[in-house]
């Protein structure tokens, strides 16, 4: 899909991106898990509001962190997707939240 021909001057490499939307109180456990799985990196982005099967929430309408969501973005090699996805799925199975996988291309291969 992201053939490197798109960017003839700068080589790009296909990778996978996981977007994990998860409750804030669980975040630390998820990050610890990703650390244990030795993914090369991740970035956490705040969420302001959302709706899912378990109802809707707004950050401004919460006194505590409970119910708040964050989005954890993790770019990694396709070969590693299954071994990361499985424990992440297991951790989240009892929790509120979703996981998506998508294709991306990166420059600077050594980063991933």
Ligand X SMILES: Nc1ncnc2c1ncn2[C@@H]1O[C@H](COP(=O)(O)O)[C@@H](O)[C@H]1O
Q: In this structure, are residues 60 and 105 in contact, taking their beta carbons and an 8 Å threshold?
A: no
- Minimum CB distance to ligand X, residue 49 (Å): 7
Chain positions contacting another protein, by CB under 8 A: 23, 25-26, 28-29, 54-67, 90-91, 93-96
Task: Give DSSP secondary structure letters for 64-95.
Answer: SSTT-EEEEEEEE-GGGHHHHHHHHHHHHTTS
**12 contacts which partner out of ligand X, another protein, its own copies, none, CB within 5 to 8 A by kind?**
its own copies
Rule CB under 6 A: say whether 97 interacts with ligand X: yes
Q: In this structure, are residues 104 and 2 in contact, taking their beta carbons and an 8 Å threshold?
A: yes
- Minimum CB distance to ligand X, residue 72 (Å): 9
**85 contacts which partner out of its own copies, ligand X, another protein, none, CB within 5 to 8 A by kind?**
its own copies
Task: Return d(Cα 38, Cα 33) in angstroms, integer.
Answer: 9
Q: Which is nearer to ligand X, 4 or 100 (CB)?
A: 100
């Amino acid at each position: 899909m992201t053939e490197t021909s798109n960017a003839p001057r700068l080589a790009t490499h296909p990778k996978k991106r996981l977007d994990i939307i998860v409750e804030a109180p669980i975040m630390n456990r998820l990050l610890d898990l990703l650390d244990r799985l030795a993914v090369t990196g991740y970035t956490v982005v705040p969420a302001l509001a959302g709706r899912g099967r378990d109802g809707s929430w707004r950050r401004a309408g919460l006194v505590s962190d409970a119910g708040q969501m964050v989005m954890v973005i993790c770019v990694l090699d396709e070969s590693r997707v299954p071994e990361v996805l499985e424990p992440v799925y297991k951790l989240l199975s009892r929790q509120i939240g979703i996981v998506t996988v998508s294709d991306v291309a990166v420059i600077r291969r050594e980063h991933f």
